[in-house]
Structure 1
Amino acid sequence: MTVERLVRIIAGFFIMLSLALAHAAGSVDMTSLSWLWFTAFVGFNLFQSGFTRFCPMDTMLKKAGVKSGCGL
């Protein structure tokens, strides 16, 4: 597993963990629709992209003509 994939997995895990801990402590109400669901979505996508190598933002940027930094 590459460093880039591990960074995505760890970053996504920490985002989701911080949301879960804040919800458990009662400082965040995840039962109502809020911008925190967007944060959870970003965290989940980071986490899953580390395992699957599929990233929606990566796909959109490539279609927009942005070049990859690793020469692909």
Structure 2
Amino acid sequence: MTVDRAVMMFAGLMVLVSLGLGFYVSPWWYLLTAFVGLNLVQASITGFCPAAMIFRKLGCRAGAAFE
């Protein structure tokens, strides 16, 4: 798996988990959804993504976006 796919999978999973928690536990969990979205936007502009750095250290191969 490439870093790009791992980051997209992690972001999607975090959005789904936070939506579920927001619906069943507390609406405050929707802030996690907003944080993930803002982080995706800033990563697309700056190229800096902490999750990509973590996945790279875990052994994922480099992809087109996070080389």
Structure 2 length-normalised TM: 0.51
SS at match of 1:69: coil
Structure index of larger Rg: 1
5+ residue gaps, structure 1: 1-31
Taking only aligned residues, the RMSD between alpha carbons, in angstroms, comes to: 1.9
Identify the match of residue 40 of structure 1 among 29, 34, 37: 34
5+ residue gaps, structure 2: 1-25
- Structure ranking higher in helix proportion: 2
Instruction: Report which structure shows greater RCO (CA 8 Å, sep ≥6).
Output: 2
In structure 1, the partner of 2:4 is none
Identical positions, percent: 43
Identify the match of residue 62 of structure 1 among 21, 38, 56: 56
Structure 1 length-normalised TM: 0.47
